[in-house]
Amino acid sequence: MELAGKVALVTGASRGMGEAIALKLASLGCKVVVNYVAIEASNKVDAGNLVENIINLGGEAMSVEADVRDSETVKGMVEQVTDKWSKIDILVNNAGINRDTLLLRMSDDAWDDVINTNLRGAYLCTKFALRSMMRQEWGRIINISSVSGIVGNIGQSNYAASKGGLIAFTKSVAREMGSRNITVNAVAPGYIITGMTDKLPSETKEAILAMIPLQRFGQPEDVAELVAFLATDRAGYITGQAITIDGGLFP
């Protein structure tokens, strides 16, 4: 129970990597806030099931619906958490979407939706959560970026821009918050088995798999283990870093 008593807010936590991260943090003793947005009715159900699962395993959890793109909604979410548990110790900015297409075919909405969710969302959640961390002079912020934000990818100019921007955001906030004992790091996953990768054609999956030295796609739990480590005191001297977790795809 290395993180016993800590309060962790995980955005976009109703499924996929967010769900795995929430479960891992709960297993280490965190009180977990499961954020979701009800774009799909199933998101609310999934968030509720996750909270129930954590509680059944002996942990504490709550779900909060909030669109991370909206300033007032994010502010309200943070207030709801601090009203219940008095603080936020750990923030995992995991909420993200993709709208893949070649740049010349990309609509303004496809660009704006991805940038606003992936980058603006992290900015808003970080800004409001930092106030609690600064008061207690301890905090962990882990931003879920992507290898696309480091090396780029065809058909993902919007996604890569948002994830690359998130890395630059990470490094800047780490410099601002270091004196307050608040670390800020980014995790850059490669191809992880989630709803996003499930949509890839089988021939594309086979071609990608052939390029990965470990010869497998990552599991959400692989990412969750790294996030959990960065949230602990064992990672207390690591800040401003973008750590890839991609099976050796981009060494």
| Res 194: pLDDT | 85
Which pLDDT score, from 0 to 100, does residue 73 have?
Answer: 97
Residues acting as catalytic residues? 159
- Name residues of the chain where pLDDT drops below 50: none
Q: Could you tell me the pTM of the whole model?
A: 0.96
DSSP states of 63-118 as a string? EEE--TT-HHHHHHHHHHHHHHHS---EEEE---------GGG--HHHHHHHHIII
The CATH-assigned architecture of domain 7-192+220-244 is 3-Layer(aba) Sandwich (3.40)
The pLDDT, as a whole number, for residue 177 is 98
Could you state, in order of their start, the residue ranges of all structural domains in the chain?
A: 7-192+220-244
